[in-house]
Chains A and B, each alone.
Chain A
Amino acid sequence: MSAEMKPPRRPRGPVPFSVVDNASRQALAAELGDGEATFAHLLGPHAGLQAKQRELWAKLTEECSSALALMGGPASVGVTSCLRGEGRSTIGIAMGLAQSFRYGRTTVLVEADLEKPSLAKTLGAKAGPGLADVLRGHAELDSCIQWIGKKLGLLPAGNVGADATRLLARLTAGELMSELVERSDALVVDLPPFSGPGVGVARLCPRIVLVVRADSTPVEAARRAAGELERPPVIINRASADVPRWMRSMLRERR
């Protein structure tokens, strides 16, 4: 789907609560595999596993939808993490899917992690032109947004080159984020990790969600993030489900 096929903007309605039942999840899973070439790439090349992958993405989307509801259903969300490899981009995609499929919002996924972009590759979209090109003034914003779903667009990192930090500073100083907000109902920004130059960019997003990888992210890093970002809401990724349910209830672990 190209930029010309952008759907008409819809007025932002009330936030639907995201508790979904099995049927709803199955419908989403079916939708993810319903002729969308990009989502087919997301589901992987193994035909035998695609059904499972669809189910997993539907589950992930459901969790993110629930998280958005708990956050008050913000239209613009920045997703960051303490370190790399904590599942930030995956959750960013799921947030985009939740905004688009569950909330019915025209959503743009912004790949602001210019140092190690991965969204375009994961979604099977073109790597450029993208955010870096827009920031340099080499491309128009509208022409860089790739519509990968009916209501889901992607602004990839583009041709970043070696000056990722300078481009991020330009993004922080400029008005690009406001322009993006105007072009869509919802915005999901895949931010750089908090340990890098992500703090400045993070401040551009009205709401930040911090991804913490269970059993991996050091408590100290999370504490630093809590201080810097004023205790952002957290999504725990890869939470170990090894502790049996009965034991969890015995330990009164709040999930």
Chain B
Amino acid sequence: MRRYVQAFFRHPFLLTMPIVIAVVISLGYQVRQPRSFVANASMWCDVPVPNQSSIFSGTSELPSASQSVVLTELLQTREFLSKVGKSGPWAGYLAAHPGPDGDRLLFQLAGNVSVSTPGPHVLAIATKGASSEDALALAKSVADAYVAEVNDTQRARAQSSVGFYKLQVDQARTALTAAQDKLTKYLAANQGSGPLGALADATVTQLTQAASVAQSNYDQAASHLTDAGVGLSSVADSGVLRVFDSPRTTGLPVSRKKKLIFGGVAGLFAGAMVSLFILLFLVVGDRAVHGTGDLEDLLGMQVVGTIDQFKTKIRSGKSGS
């Protein structure tokens, strides 16, 4: 610790300048930034039907966290951003500039969106814009595009499930009918034959078992079809996501004071990290004797005198003696 303090006081300018420079740069950057407005929206998320809701189930699953990851991922894609861009004040520009200029604007828009999860079922979206209208339109576009995207995906999955289980049910029904027919026909053909009647016949047992298995398969497929149907109907009715707080803005720009405080703290932190790194480098690379402790404790030598560095000011300069 002593060596670090000594190194700091030996190189005060070298170690404080990074902090000063970083703070100045950070504050300068914040000052030069144009005024910005913020809009917020929040969405309610739950696990899709027919699964049990996570609200009262006590499960550790956090729907909003997984939705946040998905939305953040989607904001990196051109396809999703194009959907966002289609419903805002920038739609005209994007239509006129389908190339790199349009893409640049899209990714600029994505940079103005931040996603957070205030709770396990609430997904919050905050957007920035040069005006409150821009911020509001962006929040609305992102919320709408995301809800549509998720619901479309879920609907497609549910429809696919319904189609699949419908086919399964049809096949199971056909198999069941065939097994039942076989059993009926056999019983009709062999009624009264043998000393114990048709019930004791091995073939009857076999056909009965086959009919039973076919019935079980049918029941299972029918159950799956019902679940898939419920899922599809749920998606169609309410969707997996719904906008909880519709996009709103205060209409006031982001406080400059807040921005400056944030910039100052960020600069301070960055500068302090650089200074810390330099200090570490100075101390680790330092092999010189600095004081009494080094000689007495390290080398067992007796220090009989310490002559301080005398400083005399000669007009504009300094000279040590």
Mark A residues whose CB is within 8 Å of B: 46, 49, 52-53, 56, 59-60, 63-64, 66-67, 70-71, 87, 91, 209-210, 212-220, 222-223, 226, 231-244, 247, 251, 253-255
In the complex, what distance in Å separates the CA atom of A239 from the CA atom of B288? 12
The reply to whether A233 and B307 contact each other, CB–CB distance below 8 Å, is no
Please name all residues of chain B whose beta carbon is closer than 8 Å to the beta carbon of A215 when the two chains form the complex.
10, 288-290
Determine whether B59 belongs to the interface, using a CB cutoff of 8 Å to chain A. no
Given contacts A222-B301, A235-B307, A237-B307, 4 further A-B contacts (CB under 8 A): A222-B289, A233-B301, A240-B309, A255-B292
Please name all residues of chain A whose beta carbon is closer than 8 Å to the beta carbon of B293 when the two chains form the complex.
253-254
Q: Could you tell me the distance in whole angstroms from the C-beta of A200 to the nearest C-beta in chain B?
A: 21
Q: Could you tell me the distance in whole angstroms from the C-beta of A150 to the nearest C-beta in chain B?
A: 24
Determine whether B69 belongs to the interface, using a CB cutoff of 8 Å to chain A. no
Q: Could you tell me the distance in whole angstroms from the C-beta of B118 to the nearest C-beta in chain A?
A: 45
In the complex, what distance in Å separates the CA atom of A242 from the CA atom of B308? 10
Q: Give 7 closest A-B pairs by Cβ, nearest first.
A: A67-B305, A67-B304, A242-B9, A235-B305, A70-B304, A233-B304, A243-B9
In the complex, what distance in Å separates the CA atom of A216 from the CA atom of B287? 9
Between A and B, 13 residue pairs with Cβ closer than 8 Å are A49-B312, A53-B312, A63-B306, A66-B304, A67-B305, A213-B289, A214-B290, A219-B287, A220-B287, A235-B306, A236-B303, A236-B305, A238-B309
Determine whether B219 belongs to the interface, using a CB cutoff of 8 Å to chain A. no
Query: Considering the complex, which residues of chain B in the window 279-321 have a beta carbon less than 8 Å from any beta carbon of chain A?
Result: 287-296, 298-310, 312, 314, 320-321
Please name all residues of chain B whose beta carbon is closer than 8 Å to the beta carbon of A253 when the two chains form the complex.
2, 291-293
Contact of A56 among B288, B302, B310 (CB under 8 A): B310
The reply to whether A236 and B306 contact each other, CB–CB distance below 8 Å, is yes
Q: Which size bracket describes the interface of B in this complex?
A: 20 to 34
User: Interface on chain A toward B: helix, strand, loop, or mixed SS?
Assistant: mixed
Determine whether B189 belongs to the interface, using a CB cutoff of 8 Å to chain A. no
Determine whether B98 belongs to the interface, using a CB cutoff of 8 Å to chain A. no
Mark B residues whose CB is within 8 Å of A: 1-2, 5-6, 9-10, 12, 287-296, 298-310, 312, 314, 320-321
The reply to whether B305 and A219 contact each other, CB–CB distance below 8 Å, is no
In the complex, what distance in Å separates the CA atom of A223 from the CA atom of B298? 9
Q: Could you tell me the distance in whole angstroms from the C-beta of B279 to the nearest C-beta in chain A?
A: 14
The reply to whether A226 and B303 contact each other, CB–CB distance below 8 Å, is no
Q: Select from chain B the residue with minimum beta-carbon distance to A213.
A: B289
In the complex, what distance in Å separates the CA atom of A244 from the CA atom of B8? 11
Of B1, B306, B308, the most chain A CB neighbours within 10 A belong to B306
The reply to whether B9 and A240 contact each other, CB–CB distance below 8 Å, is yes
Q: Could you tell me the distance in whole angstroms from the C-beta of B262 to the nearest C-beta in chain A?
A: 32
Please name all residues of chain B whose beta carbon is closer than 8 Å to the beta carbon of A247 when the two chains form the complex.
5, 9
Known: A60-B307, A63-B305, A240-B10. Contact between A219 and B289, CB under 8 A? yes
Contact of B302 among A87, A231, A251 (CB under 8 A): A231
Please name all residues of chain B whose beta carbon is closer than 8 Å to the beta carbon of A46 when the two chains form the complex.
314
